[in-house]
Structure 1
Amino acid sequence: MKTSVITHVEYKGTNKLLIGIVFSVLTYWLFAQSLLNIAPVVQQNLGISSGILNIGVSITGLFSGIFIVVAGGLADKLGRMKLTYIGLLLSIVGSAFLVLANGPVLFIAGRILQGLSAACIMPATMALVKAYYTGKNRQRALSYWSIGSWGGSGLCSFFGGAIASYFGWRYVFIFSIMLSLISALLLLGTPESKVVQEKKGPFDSLGLALFILSMVALNIVVSKGSEFGWLSPLVLGLLLVVVLGIILFYRVEKKGQNSFIDLSLFENRGYLGATISNFLLNAVAGTLLVINSYVQQGRGLSAATTGSLSIGYLVLVLLTIRIGEKVLQKVGPRKPMILGTLFSGIGVLFMSLTMFTGLAYFVLVFIGYSFFGMGLGMYATPSTDTAISSVPNEKAGVASGLYKMASSLGGALGVALSAAVYNGFSTAGSYTLGANLGLLTNIIFCLLAILSIVFIIPKEKNK
């Protein structure tokens, strides 16, 4: 089946478009990450149970992770600009639901819409960067996209907390609405980019259904496995659904003429290596849960003081994203990706030096956080550029969706495994063993990420 990509070849991406893209990416972090800081206030104000609150916190990431590949495929077929606008509209409506919420119904509905919003925005905007920026301009654009995506977590965590403290928690979502509207205005006038099939076949509804079923089961397992019990009948049953679903999905996609996901994407070593290492490095997010829990439970720090230990992480992840871009342009993607992953592993290693006591250990944690952020910043742009430059333009949306789904699943799996190890080996008298083993788990993720880069991504520079 022949396909062609409709883009305005004479159109070149502008700074106005880039700012609009970054703002649209930041809307996700503003409503997703901020809720982690303001959750107790939201629960008290809305009069909801802790169970409803936990569902509201996690359901946005769940819906984003499930539907991000679906939305990426739709962006290719319906238009990347159209899906970005749909995502911004969902963000506005979802945030409005939260502003108006006085109980669980609008709260949960708003969070679901925000997850769907992120699923539309993330792959569609990455595909727009692929379509309208080339060479060094594309790498620069991806650096700023990464600042919104990788650095947005820390930025919005502090920003959201400040807004909630001075104005009230609902203003976080009022600001999210304003940012979405500004983004939509900046994107106005950008030509559409989409794929046109010369011969249309029936929509791959069976493949889509199997994919969604498998991803729902997988997301529940990795995010709730420790809560339900890894060997509980429910988790084992969901794992069976995942395995059977993926096997059936693979067979359907291999035979289909109009496959929902083109499995040939993974035949490209650059794309495969970037996606696998992205999954593994995002799994290292479990470090944050382990170290934050340990310094409070095992070392007696307050939540506020614990937050101050991560300032170096927040600053350096933003500063080194552009450095990673410059290193990419000079030596290609493999070296900065390896170096970034190594720095992150060194950061986790510093945090695992629990034999130190008092101020000395907190200094080591601060240094460790700084190395961790430096590594993620160094890795971000080379990895993202390798992923999208390795695929043809007509598959950019679905490829971006798969790449971002790897981020979501990796983060969820890493946090779940780290929590299980930390809680499983910690005791009321000593949390040190749980912390050491939990951090060791994340060092192993770093080593596996390095191996995936070394042995999968080609040595030659990807252009």
Structure 2
Amino acid sequence: MAASIQMSSGTGRWVLLATVLGSGMAMLDATVVNVALPKIAAEFGASMAGLQWTVNAYTLTLAGLILLGGSLGDRFGRRKIFLVGVVWFAVASALCGAAQDISMLIAARALQGVGGALLTPGSLAIIQASFAPEDRAKAVGAWSGLGGVAGAIGPFLGGWLVDVAGWRWVFLLNLPLAALVIAVTIRHVPETFDEEATGKFDVLGAVLAALSLAGITYALTEAPEEHANMPLVVSSAVAGVAAAVAFVVVERRRSARQREPHAMLPVDVFASKQFTSINLVTFVMYGAMGVVFFLLVLTLQVVAGFDPIAAGTAMLPITVLMLLFSARAGALAQRIGPRLPITGGVLLTAAGMLLMTRIGPDTSYLRDVLPAALVFGAGLSLAVAPLTATVLASASERHAGVASGVNNAVARAAGLLSVAAIPPLAGLTGDAYNNLSTFDNGFRTALFICVVLMVAAAVLTFLTVRDDALRTAAPAAEPECKMHCAVAGPPLEPSGKGGSPTLDEHA
């Protein structure tokens, strides 16, 4: 069907509600579980690797299958795949809430990631395909802002639930949300397809992508453990790298020969050097951020002695700053180009990470945590919206679902691999969370590694991002980047067909 829904119409509001709640549910769960980790560890006697897998099992299947989710929606119907994802996510959430040991929880978290991979790209693609072009920017901006809030308030909500009702309700909360999303979607969201998507589906590509991430992540997580099975670790690493190489070869051949099944990742999506470079910046930046969000709330509870609510609320200033200033940062990048705002924002975020090294056993929120949160949030506010807008403007419109999946997969994979690799490098293995001194020192070491990564991201931005990346093809309009995107993974929306990128179809 043609994209004709008006933002001001009742249908438009219902479509926006369904997509915001659906993607927000997945985004919320990506962050809320961090607050519950100490309680989960205490109940199940989990090791540090067990906690890493509780986070990474979700991210692994999400990152490995999100390209599949986007392409499935384009092919078989975005509303249909979105609904399948919501139902799947709800069932997996119930299994998480009923987990009897850490292994069952990790398996259920992996199933949650599958649901997230189906619903996340579909939510934005539904907006792109359903709303009239003149209202699309407002709709995407609202989706980005409200979805970003859902991800950012996750630690606060998780802290309250853990403290009041227990950690299992962190997952069970998804059930009523999913029921609401299903009801609204069935009644109000129209079905849309990619009419050019035909032929067989690239199952082999999806399997190779997931196997690659699984093998490498397992090796990075388990290798530092005291009683690690080193032959299995080495075999997993080799298999992961081999799967990655095979994935690239398969996708290149299928793209070049236009053979069936069609490539899950058409290589022509990377024809834009700007798209490739900004995704590289995304990978480095979101890798560092993933470690900070994983360890920070843990440290506030394990080392600083904060209760779950206080630990979850500690980073609330980040949410406030992004709500207040992300749209302005996007507009600034539209006027002067994205290179300087992204570079400056990333460096400011690195400064915030340095301030976090002051967090320790005698931490004061006002003296130590709040300044770090303010600087960190200011950096994200300046960098994230221009970065996302640059990604949007660098992709062709033809691959809506695929392009959305690419950038989301890059961000998720970065967090997955960094959370697997950096904590063990910093000495956070075994039962480190039970040793205050070990965890404190490991947290600081991990932060310094993340600072180095952020500086590298700033250098990459300065050297590879063009000042004209957001320049519109038609000078008559003065589009503004009115967006706030979630730090858990930037949304991606394509711009103009062929030729110069435009910014008038995204927020």
Normalised by the shorter chain, which TM-score bucket? 0.7 to 0.9
Percent identical pairs in the alignment equals 23
Query: Which residue number corresponds to residue 259 of structure 1?
Result: 263
Shift, 1:32, TM fit: 4.2
Q: Does 1:445 align with 2:445?
A: no
Q: Tell me which of 5, 10, 16 is aligned to 2:4.
A: 10
Aligned residues of 1:219 and 1:409 also touching (Cα < 8 A): no
For 2:449, the aligned partner's letter is T
After TM superposition, the structure 1 stretch with the greater mean CA deviation from structure 2, 238-247 or 164-173, is 164-173
Q: Does the C-alpha gap of structure 1 residues 154 and 246 become closer, same or farther in structure 2, counting only changes over 3 Å?
A: same
Deviation string 1:124-154 (CA, Å, 9 cap, x unpaired) is 2232344345888545444444445544333
Q: Does 1:310 align with 2:315?
A: yes
Query: Which residue number corresponds to residue 366 of structure 1?
Result: 370
Q: Tell me which of 341, 346, 350 is aligned to 2:351.
A: 346
Query: Which residue number corresponds to residue 4 of structure 1?
Result: none
Q: Does the C-alpha gap of structure 1 residues 370 and 195 become closer, same or farther in structure 2, counting only changes over 3 Å?
A: same
After TM superposition, the structure 1 stretch with the greater mean CA deviation from structure 2, 440-449 or 246-255, is 246-255
CA distance in 2, matches of 1:48, 1:339: 43
Aligned residues of 2:208 and 2:243 also touching (Cα < 8 A): yes
After TM superposition, the structure 1 stretch with the greater mean CA deviation from structure 2, 90-99 or 363-372, is 90-99
Query: Which residue number corresponds to residue 407 of structure 1?
Result: 411
For 2:91, the aligned partner's letter is V
CA distance in 2, matches of 1:330, 1:136: 21
Deviation string 1:155-199 (CA, Å, 9 cap, x unpaired) is 12222332344445554444322222322344343333322337x
Aligned residues of 1:313 and 1:369 also touching (Cα < 8 A): yes
CA distance in 1, matches of 2:127, 2:378: 24
Q: Does the C-alpha gap of structure 1 residues 201 and 103 become closer, same or farther in structure 2, counting only changes over 3 Å?
A: same
Shift, 1:280, TM fit: 1.4
TM-score (norm 1): 0.82
CA distance in 1, matches of 2:36, 2:248: 42
Q: Does the C-alpha gap of structure 1 residues 185 and 225 become closer, same or farther in structure 2, counting only changes over 3 Å?
A: farther
Q: Does the C-alpha gap of structure 1 residues 71 and 227 become closer, same or farther in structure 2, counting only changes over 3 Å?
A: farther
After TM superposition, the structure 1 stretch with the greater mean CA deviation from structure 2, 394-403 or 302-311, is 302-311
Deviation string 1:193-221 (CA, Å, 9 cap, x unpaired) is 322337x5444343333333223223334
Aligned residues of 1:295 and 1:306 also touching (Cα < 8 A): yes
Aligned residues of 1:278 and 1:406 also touching (Cα < 8 A): yes
CA distance in 2, matches of 1:103, 1:429: 28
Q: Whose helix proportion is higher, 1 or 2? A: 1
For 1:275, the aligned partner's letter is N
Q: Does the C-alpha gap of structure 1 residues 125 and 329 become closer, same or farther in structure 2, counting only changes over 3 Å?
A: farther
Aligned residues of 2:279 and 2:391 also touching (Cα < 8 A): yes
CA distance in 2, matches of 1:75, 1:147: 23
Gaps of 5+ in 2: 471-501, 503-507
CA distance in 1, matches of 2:41, 2:437: 31
CA distance in 2, matches of 1:301, 1:217: 35
- Map 1:123-272 → 2, pairs under 5 A: 123-132=121-130, 137-187=135-185, 188-197=187-196, 200-227=198-225, 232-256=230-254, 257=258, 258-272=262-276
Q: Tell me which of 327, 331, 335 is aligned to 2:332.
A: 327
Q: How many residues align?
A: 452
For 2:208, the aligned partner's letter is L
Gaps of 5+ in 1: 1-6
Aligned residues of 1:98 and 1:170 also touching (Cα < 8 A): yes
After TM superposition, the structure 1 stretch with the greater mean CA deviation from structure 2, 269-278 or 51-60, is 51-60
Query: Which residue number corresponds to residue 24 of structure 1?
Result: 22
CA distance in 1, matches of 2:391, 2:220: 24
CA distance in 1, matches of 2:443, 2:45: 30
SS at 1:117 equivalent = helix
Aligned residues of 1:142 and 1:385 also touching (Cα < 8 A): no
Shift, 1:31, TM fit: 3.8
Aligned residues of 1:39 and 1:53 also touching (Cα < 8 A): no
TM-score (norm 2): 0.75
For 1:50, the aligned partner's letter is A
Shift, 1:262, TM fit: 0.5
After TM superposition, the structure 1 stretch with the greater mean CA deviation from structure 2, 178-187 or 359-368, is 359-368
CA distance in 1, matches of 2:393, 2:132: 9
Q: Does 1:50 align with 2:54?
A: no
Q: Tell me which of 362, 369, 384 is aligned to 2:388.
A: 384
Query: Which residue number corresponds to residue 273 of structure 1?
Result: 277
CA distance in 1, matches of 2:236, 2:364: 45
Q: CA RMSD in A?
A: 3.8
SS at 2:426 equivalent = helix
Aligned residues of 1:221 and 1:239 also touching (Cα < 8 A): yes
CA distance in 1, matches of 2:71, 2:320: 34
CA distance in 1, matches of 2:438, 2:88: 46
